[in-house]
């Protein structure tokens, strides 16, 4: 259900109340029950209208506020325990994202130019989180500095399922064992020339890259393909994550993977990064790879 273009959310909800399928004696009005996917993009959302939805913490699954004039999410936003997907793309007046609901899976906040604060201390507090995007949110980096990278990329925060993120920055995490500095290329190979024998049930792969972009007008779309190849040419891992869009440099990208293999024994590994892009303006500045033991 979409409410894009509605002058007032209250009017939209009142119309829903009047609909024939809604007016049954046994029905209670809960936005999340009726609209498990609620899209409110381009709507000027007020605090009082947000309160209308506060009685549906367990049933609202998808919330799209993209393009709205919202300044901040309410402090009690983390009570939406059923929420899985949150979209805030292009919310140019959004200044702060408070503590997220505990079962959130995806957060997209591309192009939130006024965003300065993102409040959570540990990704482990969000066990379902798989994807978070802060592309082109440069105010977030300027205000939070290294704290942003600590929040999103610290080794101790990584979990037992796939996780990806992208945000403004220019540094591969310090704990990465293997890294390579590059010069405006869309391809990178990191060679691990040492015997590797891993119990992959207790090992995790982490990939990171610094993405640069030339000073060009418009949006540059790209995705990053990562592959791991063993010494006999077998692909141990291959993944093509989400498509991203950048309008300015630099951004940190990270992908964290839990392997499906039980054992890995090889004399060397080749880790290959490829930047698949629509324009020549996007390139790698550096790439990194890290093997982590499950704790």
> Could you tell me if 13 and 142 lie in one domain?
yes
Residue 287 pLDDT? 97
Q: Could you count the other beta carbons within 10 Å of the beta carbon of residue 39?
A: 17
286/292 Cα distance (integer angstroms): 20
Residue 109 pLDDT? 94
> Could you tell me if 186 and 152 lie in one domain?
no
Residues of the chain with pLDDT under 50: 1-39, 41-49, 51-53
Residue 208 pLDDT? 94
**What token pair was written down for 79?**
């009570």
Nearest Cα to Cα of residue 34 among 45, 21, 51: 21
Tens of pLDDT, residues 32-61: 333 444 445 444 444 444 544 455 556 778
> Could you tell me if 110 and 189 lie in one domain?
no
HSE at residue 217, side-chain half, CA atoms within 13 A, is 0
Among 143, 168, 193, the domain boundary falls at 168
Q: Could you count the other beta carbons within 10 Å of the beta carbon of residue 209?
A: 26
> Could you tell me if 16 and 161 lie in one domain?
yes
Nearest Cα to Cα of residue 160 among 196, 131, 124, 133: 124
Nearest Cα to Cα of residue 184 among 290, 271, 275, 278: 275
Q: Cis link prior to 250 (omega < 30° from 0)?
A: yes
**3-state DSSP call for residue 64?**
strand
> Could you tell me if 121 and 11 lie in one domain?
yes
Residue 220 pLDDT? 77
> Could you tell me if 131 and 190 lie in one domain?
no
Q: Is 281 left (phi over 0), alpha (psi -120 to 50) or beta?
A: alpha
- Burial class of residue 21 (count of CB atoms within 10 Å of its CB; 0-12, 13-18, 19+): exposed
Among 145, 168, 191, the domain boundary falls at 168
Residues of the domain holding 266? 169-295
Question: Cα separations (Å) of 146 from 35, 76, 124, 208, 264?
Answer: 39, 27, 19, 16, 35
> Could you tell me if 147 and 214 lie in one domain?
no
Question: What are φ and ψ of residue 133, in 5° steps?
Answer: -125, 120
Report the length, in residues, of the chain.
295
**What token pair was written down for 99?**
């503590």
**3-state DSSP call for residue 202?**
helix
Among 150, 168, 186, the domain boundary falls at 168
Number of domains in the chain: 2
> Could you tell me if 135 and 249 lie in one domain?
no
191/223 Cα distance (integer angstroms): 22
Q: Please tell me what DSSP assigns to residue 157.
A: G
**3-state DSSP call for residue 288?**
strand
> Could you tell me if 164 and 179 lie in one domain?
no
pTM: 0.79
Taking the alpha carbons at both ends of the chain, their separation in whole angstroms is: 42
> Could you tell me if 1 and 137 lie in one domain?
yes
> Could you tell me if 174 and 144 lie in one domain?
no
> Could you tell me if 43 and 154 lie in one domain?
yes
Q: What is the CATH number of the domain that holds 200?
A: 2.60.120
Quickly list H helices, the chain.
Answer: 9-18, 31-34, 47-52, 138-144, 146-153
């Amino acid at each position: 259900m979409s409410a894009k273009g509605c002058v007032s959310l209250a009017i939209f909800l009142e119309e829903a109340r009047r609909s024939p399928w809604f007016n049954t004696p046994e029905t209670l009005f809960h936005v999340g029950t009726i609209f498990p996917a609620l899209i409110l993009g381009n709507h000027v959302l007020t605090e009082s209208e947000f309160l209308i939805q506060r009685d549906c913490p367990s049933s609202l699954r998808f919330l799209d506020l993209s393009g709205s004039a919202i300044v901040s999410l309410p402090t009690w936003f983390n009570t939406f325990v059923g929420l899985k997907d949150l979209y805030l793309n292009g919310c140019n007046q959004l200044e702060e994202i408070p503590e997220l609901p505990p079962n959130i899976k995806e957060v997209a906040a591309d192009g939130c130019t006024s965003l300065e604060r993102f409040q959570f201390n540990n990704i482990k507090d969000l066990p379902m989180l798989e994807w978070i995007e802060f592309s082109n949110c440069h105010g977030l980096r300027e205000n939070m500095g290294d704290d942003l990278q600590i929040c999103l990329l610290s080794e101790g925060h990584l979990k037992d399922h796939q996780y990806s993120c992208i945000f403004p920055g220019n540094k591969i995490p310090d704990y990465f064992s293997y890294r390579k500095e590059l010069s405006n290329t869309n391809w990178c190979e990191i060679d691990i020339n040492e015997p590797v024998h891993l119990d992959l049930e207790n090992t995790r792969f982490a990939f990171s890259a610094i993405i640069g972009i030339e000073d060009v007008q418009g949006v540059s779309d790209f995705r990053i393909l990562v592959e791991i190849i063993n010494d006999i040419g077998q692909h141990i891992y291959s993944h093509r994550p989400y498509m991203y869009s950048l309008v300015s440099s630099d951004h940190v990208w990270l992908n964290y993977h839990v392997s499906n293999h039980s054992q890995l024994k090889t004399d060397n590994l080749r880790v290959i990064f490829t930047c698949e892009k629509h324009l020549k303006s996007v390139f790698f500045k550096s790439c990194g790879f890290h093997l982590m033991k499950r704790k």
